[in-house]
Amino acid sequence: MSNMQDGREAGMIGSRTDGAPVRRPLSPHLQAYDMLQITSAMSISHRITGVAWAIGLLFLVWWLAALAAGPGPFGAVQWFLGSVLGWVVLMGLSAVAWYHTLNGIRHLAWDAGYGFSIPATYRSGHMVLIGTAVLTGITWLILFVAWI
Amino acid sequence: MANPIAERAALRSPLGRVRGLGSAKSGTQAWWMQRVTSIALLPLTIWLVFSLACMAGASFGEAQAWVARPLNAVLLLAFLAASFHHSAAGIREVIEDYVKPEFARMGSVLVVKGVCALLWLVSSLAVLRIAI
């Protein structure tokens, strides 16, 4: 260990209960974590959906700016949003928005000091996933009914 | 009467304070504003997503009439302000977690802030032009 080249190796020097050195991550880490656990999977999903939604706001800006600019530019946005790619974007964004919104309520509850036990965390996680599916389905239904 | 000892009770030097390297007694402000905007966005998001879903396939005139309605215009402006504040705060948090070199980190945070501010102004001006 004396010829350590990479500073990140410092976080890999553990020891067994008998004191023998062992090379393993010292703290929760992608190598040691099962990322398919609902807790960690929903945590990183909250970030991913947050970033995706921030990028998705570009479509709202485009829509509003085109609406202010005139019928020509607005027709271009409506054409895109009505295309297959536009539908994929809108459906994806609605799912992402509902997930981030519902999981955000979960985070606010944690910030307030509630729901930290493992059963409560799993329960709220399942509620967020079910709620996302329900609200996204309702949104798509409204979208489809308004479209036809 | 001024008490020189009380005035110097802060152990940090003035230089340390202006460099932002110590407690400025406002350390929770960014964290708190992210929560405030998230609470504001809860009702605004529910309103906007369902409103926009109802507008699928709307004509130019219908869409303009919807934005021009005072309640819709006010809620849209509120949504845009809270959204871009919350987006800038959230992306900043992600950048600060994953981008290590200080120059790249500070630079990308500033770019994100600038882009969010400009997009907020563009979209808000659009709403105002339609509504007024």
pLDDT of residue A1: 46
Largest CA distance in chain A: 75
Q: How confident is the model at residue A11 (pLDDT cuts 50, 70, 90)?
A: confident
Query: Where exactly are the structural domains of chain A?
Result: 1-33, 36-147
Q: Find residues 106-125 of chain B whose CB sits inside 8 Å of chain A.
A: 119, 122-123, 125
pLDDT at A10 over 90: no
Nearest CA in chain B to A75: B60
Which among B57, B64, B91 has the least Cβ separation from residue A67?
B64
Cα separation, A56 vs A47, in Å, equals 14
Could you give the 3-state DSSP secondary structure of residue A26?
Answer: coil
DSSP string, A46-109: HHHHHHHHHHHHHHHHHHHHHHHH-HHHHHHHHHHHHSHHHHHHHHHHHHHHHHHHHHHHHHHH
Topology adopted by domain A36-147: 3 helical TM bundles of succinate and fumarate reductases (1.20.1300)
Say if residue B84 is exposed, middle or buried (CB neighbours under 10 Å; 0-12, 13-18, 19+): buried
Which pTM does this prediction carry?
Answer: 0.82
Q: Tens digit of pLDDT for each residue in B37-85?
A: 999 999 999 999 999 999 888 899 999 999 999 999 999 999 999 999 9
pLDDT of residue B123: 98
Q: Has the ipTM of the complex gone over 0.85? A: no
Q: How confident is the model at residue A4 (pLDDT cuts 50, 70, 90)?
A: low
Q: Tens digit of pLDDT for each residue in B93-102?
A: 999 988 888 8
Which among B76, B83, B94 has the least Cβ separation from residue A51?
B94
Section A57-69 average pLDDT: 97
Work out the percent of chain B whose per-residue pLDDT is above 70. 80
Distance from CA of A139 to the nearest CA of B (A): 6
Q: Is B43 inside any structural domain?
A: yes
CB contacts, 8 Å: A142 with chain B:
50, 53-54, 56
Q: Find residues 47-106 of chain A whose CB sits inside 8 Å of chain B.
A: 47, 50-51, 53-54, 57-58, 60-61, 64-65, 67-69, 71, 74-75, 78, 82, 94, 97-98, 101, 104-105
pLDDT of residue B3: 54
Domain containing residue B104: CATH number: 1.20.1300.10
Query: Which of B33, B36, B38, B100 is most worth mutating to test chain A (most A CB atoms within 10 A of its CB)?
Result: B38
Section A95-109 average pLDDT: 97
Q: Which residue has the tokens 């239904």?
A: A141
B54 shares contact with chain A (CB less than 8 Å): yes
Q: Is B94 inside any structural domain?
A: yes
pLDDT at A16 over 90: no
Q: How many domains does chain B have?
A: 1
Report CA dihedral (A96, A101, A107, A111) to the nearest 10 degrees: 150
Contact B115, B87 (CB under 8 A): no
pLDDT of residue B24: 61
Contact A23, A105 (CB under 8 A): no
Say if residue B42 is exposed, middle or buried (CB neighbours under 10 Å; 0-12, 13-18, 19+): middle
In angstroms, what CA-CA distances link B14 with A113, B11, B20, B24? 36, 9, 10, 11
pLDDT at B21 over 70: no
Residue B108 belongs to domain spanning = 29-131
